[in-house]
Amino acid sequence: MIQMATEPRSRLAMAMHRPRGFDLFAVLGLFCGAALCAPPAHADAYVSSIAQVCEQGGLCATAPTSFGPGQRSDISRGTNFTNFQYSASSAVITDFVGFSAFARASGFESPEITETTPPVFGYEISRSARAFGEWSDTITAGTGGGEGFLRIRLRLTGHGAISWQNGYGSVRFSFGGFSVEPERPFDVIGNVDPVGRAMTVSEVIDQVANLDIPILLGSPIRYTVTAFAGADTGHYSNDAIPFSGQSEIGITARPFAGAIVLDASKQPIPGATVSVGESGFDYAVPEASSLPGTLAALASLEALRRRRRA
């Protein structure tokens, strides 16, 4: 689980402590590289969520891990002086085959300018908000042996809102994962091709994401999916004074159709069935989860916090 700091996850955390300018797909590649994805021994089905906020230099505050479907993790930190105001907050809920997160980073800085100082910053400052979710389950799909894929079809909805002056801002989200045989948890069958997007302008999120889980047809496999959403804002040294910026992302991922069993060429196998997961989730007919309405609830939580800080 995420809080069980195995080498893959601690290396992921090190990479995620870079508040800006990193490649989200490289991070998922680091996490899901074949040599790094060996998970520790744990239950065949679990869900975990972690909220985190960071500032420049990799200094991060992390909320306690929340375990179980529909359990929220959230955190908020801020500094509020007349000419120096920065804040970051995130909240996340994960379910089996579901993820909902809200992350927001904002700042305003306007130091006094005198005749002897240039009207630019002599240092850099950043704020980041991050949300991590992870679910793992054990299933059996298809028959006959050989390699194949289980395609989980997710509908991603939400928004990215970005604005800044004399600095930068961005938001991003990503999904990735891997699979193993339950009796051989340190031998990775394969990795899920990462799905994600990075945005530097405001956009609506409304897309389908296919998570193709590598499987062995007819044999039990344990798969793990890691989801991420984050927002960054800040300024560089030599950026003009004053700085203001706000980056925000809200995203929900839910299954919109039953999972499909594919052959090694990713062609559908007619009549192939999928077992109910160890979690109890029915992959053939997606079930209602604890996630509907969660995104709005998380957004309301952040709005309430902003009013309290005002």
Indicate the DSSP class of residue 63. P
pLDDT tens per residue, the chain (310 residues)?
A: 333 323 333 233 333 433 344 344 444 433 333 323 333 444 679 999 999 999 988 899 999 999 999 899 999 999 888 899 999 999 999 999 999 999 999 999 999 888 777 899 999 999 999 999 999 999 999 998 899 999 999 999 999 999 999 999 999 999 999 999 998 988 999 999 999 999 999 999 999 999 999 999 999 999 999 999 999 999 999 999 999 999 999 999 998 888 999 999 999 999 999 999 999 999 987 654 555 455 555 555 555 444 434 4
Indicate the DSSP class of residue 16. H
> Is 21 part of any domain?
yes
Residue 15 half-sphere exposure, CB side, CA atoms within 13 Å?
A: 18
Threshold 0.85, pTM exceeds? no
> Is 289 part of any domain?
yes
> Is 236 part of any domain?
yes
> Is 2 part of any domain?
no
**Domain tally, the chain:** 1
Distance of alpha carbon 242 from alpha carbon 249, whole angstroms: 24
> Is 53 part of any domain?
yes
CA distances in angstroms from 56 to 135, 183, 298, listed in the order given: 29, 42, 25
> Is 102 part of any domain?
yes
